[in-house]
Amino acid sequence: MNTQSLKCDRFTSLTSISTAVECYMSTRGGAQIDKLLSLSSSCTIEGSESLSGEAIIRGKVCHRAIYLDENGALRTMDYVSDFSTKYSNTLITPTTPLVCVADVVDSEVSTRSDSEIKVTSAICIQVYAILSSEIEILGADESIIQDLDTIQSTCLVGRGSSDLISSEEVSVGENISNILLIENNLVISSSALSRDKVTVNGEVYSTVTYDNDGKVKCKRVTIPFSEEIFVDGAMETDEAFSLGYVKNARINLSGEGQDTTLEVECSISLKTYALRSYSHEVVRDCFSTDHTTTIDSAMIPYGRYLGTITHSERLEGVILSNADAVASTSIRNIYLSSVVADNTNARVEGVVDIDAVYTIDGIYSCSTLEIPFAIDVSSVNIHPHSTLLSRVCVADVMPSIKNGRIEVSIDAFVSIAIFEDDSVLAVKEVSLTDDMPPLPPLMLKRIKPGESMWEVCKQICASSEDILAQNPDLSLPLRENEIVKYYRRLEV
């Protein structure tokens, strides 16, 4: 009997969870907060621990606040807050891997003191469970008595990408003499599947800091977007998984004074994946005979989740200027351009755009610094044909001035979930050829964990004495995977 063990994974979307994370942010050097201009927050998942019926999900929330101090100077403060939240679902077992995607949907600020603020962030976490099963299947044999099992698995059936431009115009009602900082945060709200396409909906939350005739002010703009992405072979019954980044943002100003309007135009890159769940009945094991049989085999597709790896790396860039001091910085965009898999290695490439506001002889000036990155992450589970779902966030921005040059260091955090699709030739049915005479009725039973003799007798419809008489080597109590053979006597 030619059998093999097959591990299959089913990628299942569970209900999302919302949680609140609180932290306290303090100014550097005890500077007093005269006016808080803006607060931006981003979130990343570090890992999860599955238990019986629940899971502990851990992550980080990265906050960046821009404010004016008691002297009217523009300043920045950063804080990284760790969080841990409990998620309950009956499908989760201690061996269930989870893939989680988190976004900050809102943040509230309250003042605690002249130099400290309290931030409460609302986080939405979408949870995907990897439901694994491992069974023995029959490769090829001459057999007639078959025990069937079901393979349930999820495979990648298609992928697509799209670049789009979305914009939103708002009234400012006052003069804007200079744009200082732009910070963008993209959130995907839904991915709806139809035949051969995925409709991705979401918003870009853009925070614009500007100079109003010597006064630093801030405006928040919400930019909705909706894009149809072609995915060959996708169907309405599939499940979609989408990721997105802001590649670039441009500010267009029009009007003067109270008639001033501000338009934020974002260049967005979207990637989506169509996942399909399969269910196949296959022959798990058989009782071999010398009789001719007909064997129906087929290639069975199945998917496997190979784990999530995380990696942090420091990136650096330089702004050439004659700056006296750095007033403030912001993360304009984090764009992931490609994720390429090789043997045991994945290269994640992209660009981080940093806006910096600095002073030259007491006058504000601003520049945008592009920091390209190519981060290598290694894992024995990575193969050239692996499907890699990756996200990148920045935990901290550290500017410094040396000889008039602004040197910027950032801590980038990369998370990669690894999936792999495969197929196996499996026997789906074994039967007698039409010209063979019928054989005496024979039943074959493989003992499952915890099964008793009483349960076996009930299934076979035979007494324990008859079963033991035909299986003299059978042990009591029954052991898992033992084979019980029973010939039913023919009526003459």
Percent of the chain with pLDDT over 70: 89
Residue at 191 is within a domain: yes
The per-residue pLDDT for range 323-343, each reduced to its tens digit, is 888 888 888 888 888 888 888
Residue 383 and residue 336 in one domain: yes
- Per the model's pLDDT, the better-predicted residue between 187 and 2 turns out to be 187
Per-residue HEC secondary structure of the chain comes to CCEEEEEEEEEEECCCEEEEEEEEEECHHHCCEEEEEEEEEEEEEEEEEECCCEEEEEEEEEEEEEEEECCCCEEEEEEEEEEEEEEECCCCCCCCCEEEEEEEEEEEEEEEECCEEEEEEEEEEEEEEEEEEEEEEECCCCEEEEEEEEEEEEEEEEEEEEEEEEEEEEECCCCCCEEEEEEEEEEEEEEEEECCEEEEEEEEEEEEEEEECCEEEEEEEEEEEEEEEECCCCCCCCEEEEEEEEEEEEEEEECCHHHCEEEEEEEEEEEEEEEEEEEEEEEEEEEECCCCEEEEEEEEEEEEEEEEEEEEEEEEEEEECCCCEEEEEEEEEEEEEEEEEECCEEEEEEEEEEEEEEEECCEEEEEEEEEEEEEEEECCCCCCCCEEEEEEEEEEEEEEEECCEEEEEEEEEEEEEEEEEEEEEEEEEEEECCCCCCCCCEEEEECCCCCCHHHHHHHHCCCHHHHHHHCCCCCCCCCCCCEEEEECCCCC
pLDDT tens for residues 260-289? 999 999 999 999 998 888 887 776 655 544
- For the chain, the domain total comes to 2
Report pLDDT for 5. 67
Q: Are residues 151 and 256 in the same domain?
A: yes
Q: So what's the pLDDT on residue 142? A: 38
- What's the whole-number mean pLDDT along residues 426-439? 58
pLDDT confidence bin for 241, thresholds 50/70/90 = confident
Task: State the chain's mean pLDDT as an integer.
Answer: 83
Please tell me whether residues 90 and 226 are part of one structural domain. Answer: yes
| Same-domain pairing of 179 and 83 | yes
* Confidence bin at 490 (pLDDT 50/70/90): very low
Same domain, 352 and 451: no
Domain assignment of residue 364, yes or no: yes
pLDDT tens digits, residue range 9-57? 888 888 888 899 999 999 888 888 888 888 888 888 888 999 999 999 9
Residues spanned by the domain of 482 = 440-487
| Last-in-domain residue among 424, 455, 471 | 424
pLDDT for the residue numbered 85: 93
> Residue 477: which CATH number?
3.10.350.10
Are residues 318 and 244 both part of a single domain? Answer: yes
212 in any annotated domain: yes
**Residue 263 pLDDT:** 93
Residues 461 and 412 grouped into a single domain: no
Give yes or no: residues 367 and 454 share one domain.
no
Is pLDDT of 492 > 50?
A: no
| Structural domain includes residue 492 | no
Residues 82, 56 share a domain: yes
Asked, for residue 434, whether it belongs to a domain, the answer is no
Which of 373, 400, 424 is the last residue in one of the domains?
A: 424
Quick: pLDDT tens for 443-486.
677 788 888 888 888 777 788 888 888 888 888 888 888 888 77
| Whether pLDDT at 134 is above 90 | no
pLDDT at 164 over 90: yes
